[in-house]
Amino acid sequence: MMKLVQGGVTAPIGYFATGIACGLKKDNQLDLSIVCSEDMAVAAGVFTQNTVKGHSLQLTMKNIKNGYANALVINSGNANACNGSEGYEDACEIAETVAQMMDLEPEDILVGSTGVIGKPLDMDKIRPGLDELISNMNPEGGHEAALAIMTTDTFAKEISLQTQINGKTVTIGGMAKGSGMIHPNMATLIGVITTDANISKSVLQKVLSSCTEKTFNRTSVDGDTSVCDMVISLANGMAENEKIDENSKAYDEFYQAYLHVCTELAKMIAKDGEGATKLIEVRVNGAKSSEDAKKAAFAIAKSPLVKTAMFGQDANWGRIITALGYSGADFDPNKTDIHIGDLLVCKSGEAVAFDETHALEILKSDEILLSVKLNEGKFGDRVWTCDFSFDYVKINASYRS
């Protein structure tokens, strides 16, 4: 039994957070955040697979190795990537400063950065900002933290819920930032998932990795992938449940709740893709292999022609079958059926006469389902994406200015 609750990353017991404006962004927008656990927490992470890796992310990959962390500091407005040795030193200074102020070890502080690449962090703004962060963090600060990690996001992405595990209430809270550069096979974003569950670091890592594969790694906004993306999860055990074993009913219950948190965050990320006006879910069924299903779903979800047609509310399914054709999936086009919403538009690879008025009704919605049956086998996959609008171009044509 899952129950949605308020609070985001501070919903679980023993977490403090906040977000402040230290001046990295214009107009006094929040740009520096902290999430901190009262007790030492076990920590798990998934990280970008981009060959280029941001300096803050590199420090976090190092500090998380021992499997424990106390706090995570994230700045937005500047990616801290490609800044030479200075970039890594800046990340270290943030960890050391926070550790010193809170009487913790620097290796238990994780650091994240998101924004423009190749611009050194303005440490003269961040240093006093860290002071303010630590003074202001509080057990209801989840929302401010979620606001402070946003870049071109138009709304804060957070969710928190409770589930019962062996008679104890366990809470999971999550926040994420997404918008541009969202793409599979990466951590795809910056995400933070906190819980008061009592769970080992290896089991937490297993849950995070599995849920990431099914959710964050099934979103695509523009096919680009960032150098700073990561999802970090902390679990401080303060719910005092019996430790969650890998093969147990408790594990299944925790997993389902955790998956729900990741699913909702992933859908919010796709829905808030840069310039997006619609959330698009692409479902492929009947593939010969899971790899074929994944290739087919991603080819459709990534196609700029499909995405512009969705923006234009145009039931141009020819672009869907075209994307299938170059996806690399093994299938016979003469067996393919395509639905837009509940409307059959292509049967056995051939055009079906359909009611354009009905099609328009479906395409006017802000959530659209594109489903493909390959009728070749029993494998399926599902990917979330968004439409491609004028505003995507507008946002990205002048991102640095």
Closest to its own copies by CB, 260 vs 278, is 278
How far apart CA 353 and CA 351 sit, in angstroms, is 7
Dump strand ranges (E) for 295-347: 337-340, 343-347
Least Å distance, CB 277 to its own copies, is: 11
Closest to its own copies by CB, 199 vs 321, is 321
Closest to its own copies by CB, 155 vs 390, is 390
Closest to its own copies by CB, 254 vs 384, is 384
Taking the CA atoms of 303, 271, 213 and 287 in sequence, report the sign of the dihedral they define.
negative
Taking the CA atoms of 391, 397, 400 and 401 in sequence, report the sign of the dihedral they define.
negative
Give the residue from 381, 396, 150, 371 showing the smallest Cα distance to 272. Answer: 150
Token pair of 115 as six digits: 């924004």
- Do residues 336 and 324 make contact, with C-beta atoms less than 8 angstroms apart? yes
- Do residues 389 and 275 make contact, with C-beta atoms less than 8 angstroms apart? yes
How far apart CA 227 and CA 80 sit, in angstroms, is 10
- Do residues 137 and 17 make contact, with C-beta atoms less than 8 angstroms apart? yes
Dump strand ranges (E) for 211-287: 219-220, 230-235, 279-287
Residues 6+ apart with CB under 8 A from 363: 310, 313, 314, 315, 340, 341
How far apart CA 237 and CA 198 sit, in angstroms, is 4
Least Å distance, CB 390 to its own copies, is: 5
Dump strand ranges (E) for 48-84: 68-76
Closest to its own copies by CB, 10 vs 78, is 78
Least Å distance, CB 222 to its own copies, is: 4
> Residues interacting with its own copies, by CB under 8 A?
49-53, 79, 81-84, 116-120, 180-181, 183, 186, 222-227, 302-305, 308-309, 311-312, 314-319, 321-326, 329, 331, 333, 346, 349-351, 388-390, 392-394, 396-401
Closest to its own copies by CB, 143 vs 294, is 294
How far apart CA 33 and CA 22 sit, in angstroms, is 10
Least Å distance, CB 4 to its own copies, is: 34
Least Å distance, CB 151 to its own copies, is: 13
Least Å distance, CB 181 to its own copies, is: 7
Closest to its own copies by CB, 36 vs 270, is 270
How far apart CA 123 and CA 261 sit, in angstroms, is 34
Residues 6+ apart with CB under 8 A from 321: 333, 336, 338, 346, 349
HEC-encoded secondary structure of 86-113:
HHHHHHHHHHHHHHHHHCCCHHHEEEEE
Q: Kindly name the residue from 188, 195, 215, 385 that is annotated as catalytic.
A: 188
Give the residue from 304, 305, 364 showing the smallest Cα distance to 340. Answer: 364
How far apart CA 269 and CA 150 sit, in angstroms, is 11
Q: Is 188 considered catalytic here?
A: yes
Least Å distance, CB 226 to its own copies, is: 7
The catalytic residues are 188
